[in-house]
Structure 1
């Protein structure tokens, strides 16, 4: 973990909440969102957040797609993991939340 990541993590813990100092998307968030949009073109909702303070060590993904219809949660998560297999190698952790549109 870089010194910047350590500093941001300490700052987050001290503040009692996890949030990034910057309000714009990181390059990692943009790259992951692009990959997921390509892999899940029917996604009705997609949110990628770098929860490591912007250094790319850990991400949280929320994706809603009709492509998950009929699949168990574990299968949905496996699809996301497969789509991000190259990016995951450089991560410390990944939180995945999937859903099927309600309409």
Structure 2
């Protein structure tokens, strides 16, 4: 399976599971990411710890990642969330550059 197909499936699954009401942690992390990635086409944050804020899944699609390897993109996310990460048990990060039409 190609990486793009896998990313699409993961994002689709993420969106299906994500309810319309966000936890405080999801809102806070989303705001931080939107501030740090102002050109982001999409920022999605999901508390996958059952609501306690111990583990999150993050999806960011942004032009800021253009020309960067995946590891560099993830480092950018980690840097933006460095203070919040200190209190987390885990973080799953999915990043990509917007597709050209």
The CA distance in 2 between the partners of 1:89 and 1:46, in whole Å, is: 21
The CA distance in 1 between the partners of 2:24 and 2:49, in whole Å, is: 13
Point out the structure with max Rg over C-alpha: 1
Q: 1:90 and 2:82 equivalent?
A: no
Written as runs of structure 1 = structure 2, the 5 A alignment for 1:1-103 is 24-103=21-100
Cα deviation for residue 23 of structure 1 reads 5.3
Residue ranges of structure 1 left out of the alignment (5+ in a row)? 1-18
* TM-score, with length taken from structure 1: 0.78
Structure 1 moving runs of 4+ over 6 Å:
none
Q: Deviations over 1:36-58 (max 9, x none)?
A: 00000000011000000000000
The CA distance in 2 between the partners of 1:84 and 1:32, in whole Å, is: 7
Cα deviation for residue 24 of structure 1 reads 1.3
The CA distance in 2 between the partners of 1:84 and 1:23, in whole Å, is: 23
Residue ranges of structure 2 left out of the alignment (5+ in a row)? 1-16
Cα deviation for residue 35 of structure 1 reads 0.2
